[in-house]
Amino acid sequence: MTESKKMRGADIVVASLEREGVDIIFAYPGGASMELHQALTRSKKIRTILPRHEQGGVFEAEGYARASGKVGVCMATSGPGATNLVTGIADAYMDSTPLVAITGQVAQQFIGKSAFQETDIVGITRPIVKHNYLVQSIEEIPRIIKEAFYIASTGRPGPVLVDIPKNIQMSYCVPEFPEKIELIGYKPEEFASDQQIEQILRAIEECEKPVLYAGGGIISSEASEELAEFVEKSNIPIVTTLMGIGAFPETHPLSMRWFGMHGTVTGNYAVDEADLLLAFGVRFDDRVTGKIEEFAKHGIIVHVDVDAAELNKNKVVHIPVVSDIKYVLKKLCKHIKRREYKDWHHKIEGWKKEYPFKYKDQKDKILPQYVLEQIYELTQGDAIITTGVGQHQMWAGQFIKYTHPRTFITSAGLGAMGFGLPAAIGAKLACPKKTVIDIDGDGSFVMNVQELATAYIDKVDVKIIVLNNQHLGMVVQWEDRFYQSNRGHTFIGDPSLADPTDPEHSYPDFVKMAESFKIPAQKVIHKRDLRTALEKMLAHDGPYLLDILVPYQEHVLPMIPGGKTVKDIIIE
């Protein structure tokens, strides 16, 4: 479709975004992107959210995408603005999050000449994107933007970067907006053959101890309903990855919740003993498998994934299938025959009773696990939880039960600290009627603390809980387990205090920090005050921060040490 009048390049970009249904962009301006920001001020359809750091913006776009299922969009200027997006782009790549990142670039005549704020962001991001573009002419903007959204959102979702030189943003042309896209060699839709479906069904018929291992691919392909139907019809117990949390209700009797390094003993034991492992929408990540040659070695493995590159990459399997998982589940549901697996279910129930997620409660101290139990009670699982990265992330997965997809949003593959607060802001903007809570650690939270300003200025009603132990807790746990508790710069409090671990004098003062951003906050030291503080936070209309002081000696258990097997699991 051709517009009848000439348009400026920057306005063509914005018009192209509007045509893709973009309603929110997370964008920080600079010299090479000013023209794009000027064009955004003229848009009646797109709300521009100003993050306070480009990394905050890309994490916000990820939170928006993960909560909504739509493509998240962020924008930055050239040079340092663009490089500040790199961690978030890598995170989106690892966690298969649909993202379009737009960067301003220096004018074409300066490219390759070390101009002010010039970096080769296309070259830098090449290993961590599905695709990227350096726009060479104004005429190709509509096609490139449409392709970017198509690539980001189809097949296995992921990030696409579009780098636009400033002179092209300022040029004029009569744009032609394509109605559809066909990319030679890109086939995002792959479907299993009837023979492959029969092969899977035959494997199910012949097994006695099956396990379904479901990952983030179930959520990406919107296949949770089909998964639930398949589990009900087949009577096969299910375990998920961290990315797959919420794909199947964790309150269901057939759920073994999630497994891997810090997942359920039940899930780990069941996968180890299974004579059939149905791996659906997963990538055999090392945090799940441990020592790969020992992983699930007692049975047949079926691996279904839309990304052919994942098949036999980490784990060689018996039945590899390139396909959209929703299609496979629909086909299986038509033909699956229910079986009882009584002995297998009995064994799994025994493990569930013997090895629940647990901790030793203390009368006088607030333990982080207790905090999460209280949050679960107060929200009844009806909240979107985002996290930073560390012990608090694992506890948020353990002590809250998730029943719906897109309600647990975490940096799983890359493990990027600083993810929690901006992801919560993006998720809340995507789902304004949902309660959104960032569960954070003091180390992770401070990495993007500036996004408190975004929450306040844009009136984003996020709740923030900092489980503050004055340490980099997960690294401390590894120091305790494997380095004779020798502290390698993992204490992040103030060593000049008489007692640096005294909760009365924790450092920094997160309450004063939040209040400096005009966000109400409260420090909680005593267990008796916790419940009231949580209720007050949830009832407050607007962003709110709770700084909860917890002991640093707590470890996340169970734990399978890196590179080890289920036989090495640490339970106590």
Residues marked as catalytic: 54, 116-117, 166, 474
Residue type for position 391: Q
CB 300 within 8 A of CB 276: yes
**How many CB atoms within 10 Å of residue 485?**
9
Nearest to 145 by CA among 44, 39, 30, 4: 39
Spatial separation of the C-alpha atoms in residues 454 and 179, rounded to whole Å: 35
Cβ neighbours of residue 371 under 8 Å, at least 6 residues apart?
A: 465, 467, 530, 534, 548, 550
Q: How far is CA 559 from the centre of its chain?
A: 21
Cα–Cα nearest to 418, from 395, 396, 387, 394: 387
Contact 412, 243 (CB under 8 A): yes
SS (H, E, C) 544-565: EEEEEECCCCCCCCCECCCCCC
SS3 string, 239-265, reads EECCCCCCCCCCCCCCEEEECCCCCCH
Cis peptide before 320 (omega within 30 of 0): no
Report which secondary-structure segment, H or E, holds 435: strand 435-441
Whether residue 164 contacts residue 102, with contact meaning beta carbons closer than 8 Å, is answered with yes
Contact at 8 Å (CB) between 473 and 388?
no
CA 295 to mean position of chain CA atoms = 25
Asked if residue 492 lies in contact with residue 442, where contact means CB atoms within 8 angstroms, the answer is yes
Which 8-state DSSP code applies to residue 71? P
Q: Where are the alpha helices (DSSP H) in 380-416?
A: 391-398
Q: Which long-range contacts (CB under 8 A, 24 or more apart) does 376-380 make?
A: 376/400, 376/401, 378/534, 378/535, 378/538, 379/435, 379/437, 379/538
> 3-class SS at 237?
coil
Burial of residue 361 (CB within 10 Å: 0-12, 13-18, 19+) is: exposed
DSSP symbol at 470: S
- What is the rounded CA–CA span in Å between residue 309 and residue 114? 36
**The two three-digit tokens of residue 188, written as one number:** 């995002």
